Each structure stands twice: as structure tokens, then as C-alpha cells.
């Protein structure tokens, strides 16, 4: 049975993804991940101020640069997840270790509760004014309209 054509397409995509980035393109990838703004990332990477927007569009359109951004983002997320896992493991051991004092264990449990969302968020009061309220201010009489004689007495 012949090999399906999908395998050939995957090989082409892999070759495209493995294409080397230039130094400036690598700086663009890192800058884009830090600011999420293509033009700003292009300027940070060393592209001209005048052509930053165009170069950002061009770079983000290239498949090998887009895949490099995705791989780098995935790597960062994986690193962050492993740090969170490490933190949770150590907090759990602090909370369950009988050698620790009561306050240490309670504090570790409190932080674990916050990590897992066990506490309700703090309530904030938001006050919104209706647009009609501001329009009513214009219809109120001013001091000059209320006491016109006081103004003429000053002259």
C-alpha cells in the first residue's frame, strides 16, 4: 500500500519549521513574546523606525518565525507550570510536616488555598453614574442667573 501524501506535507512543514532564524529574527521573537506588539518588537530587535510595522507584519507572516514564537511560548508556559508544581509540592510538604510550627503550617495552607482559589475574591464597590446625571448639571441655574443684581452692584 502506498504512503499517504500527508507524510510528505508533514516533512515539508518540519523542514520549514527547522529553518534557522537570523539573529535579528531571534531578537524579534523574544521581544514579541515580552510585549506582544509587532512594531515595538521590530524596533527592539533592531529594525528601522520607519519600517518597523512592515517588518513586524512580514516576520509574523513567515511560517518559520510564527512556529518559533509558538515553540518559545510553549517552552515558557511549560517552565511556568513546572515552577507552580514545585511551589505546590513544597507548600504541601510545609503544611503537612509535623516538625513545623503551627503558624508555619497554617500559613502554608492559607497560601495553598489562595493558589487553588478557595477564597472568594475581595469585593469592590463600583459606582456608575448615568449619562443623564451629567446632562442635568447643565440645566441647573448658575449663581449669575440667580443673583443678577449683585453683578451690576459691583460696577
pLDDT block averages, 10 residues each, the chain of length 155:
46 56 93 93 94 94 94 92 90 91 92 85 72 60 60 57
| Residue 23 lies inside a defined structural domain of this protein | yes
| Residue at 57 is within a domain | yes
Give the model's pLDDT for residue 131: 59
74 lies in some domain: yes
Instruction: Please compute, for residue 23, the number of CA atoms within 13 A of its CA located in the half-sphere on the CB side.
Output: 1
Helix, strand and coil percent figures for the chain, each rounded to 5: 70, 0, 30
Is residue 124 assigned to a domain? no
What pLDDT does residue 58 have? 95
CA distance 98 to 103: 12
- The number of folded domains in the chain is 1
Q: Is 27 within the bounds of a domain?
A: yes
Model's pTM, two decimal places? 0.52
pLDDT at position 8, please?
42
Which pLDDT score, from 0 to 100, does residue 19 have?
A: 77
- Host domain of residue 32: 5-116
What pLDDT is recorded for position 54?
95
Q: Report the CATH number at residue 22.
A: 1.10.10.1400
Angle between helices 23-35 and 52-61 (to 10 degrees): 100
Tell me if 64 is assigned to some domain. Answer: yes
Helix H or strand E encompassing 104:
helix 102-115
Kindly state whether residue 89 falls inside one of the protein's structural domains.
yes
Amino acid at each position: 500500500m502506498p504512503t499517504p501524501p500527508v507524510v510528505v506535507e508533514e516533512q515539508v512543514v518540519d523542514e520549514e519549521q527547522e529553518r534557522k532564524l537570523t539573529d535579528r529574527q531571534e531578537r524579534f521573537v523574544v521581544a514579541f513574546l515580552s510585549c506582544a506588539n509587532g512594531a515595538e518588537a521590530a524596533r527592539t530587535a533592531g529594525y528601522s523606525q520607519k519600517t518597523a510595522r512592515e517588518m513586524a507584519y512580514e516576520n509574523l507572516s513567515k511560517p518559520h518565525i510564527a512556529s518559533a514564537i509558538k515553540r518559545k511560548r510553549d517552552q515558557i508556559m511549560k517552565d511556568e507550570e513546572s515552577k507552580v508544581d514545585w511551589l505546590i509540592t513544597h507548600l504541601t510538604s510545609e503544611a503537612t510536616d509535623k516538625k513545623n510550627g503551627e503558624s508555619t503550617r497554617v500559613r502554608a495552607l492559607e497560601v495553598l488555598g489562595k493558589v487553588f482559589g478557595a477564597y472568594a475574591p475581595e469585593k469592590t464597590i463600583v459606582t456608575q453614574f448615568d449619562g443623564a446625571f451629567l446632562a442635568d448639571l447643565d440645566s441647573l441655574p448658575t449663581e449669575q442667573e440667580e443673583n443678577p443684581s449683585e453683578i451690576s452692584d459691583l460696577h
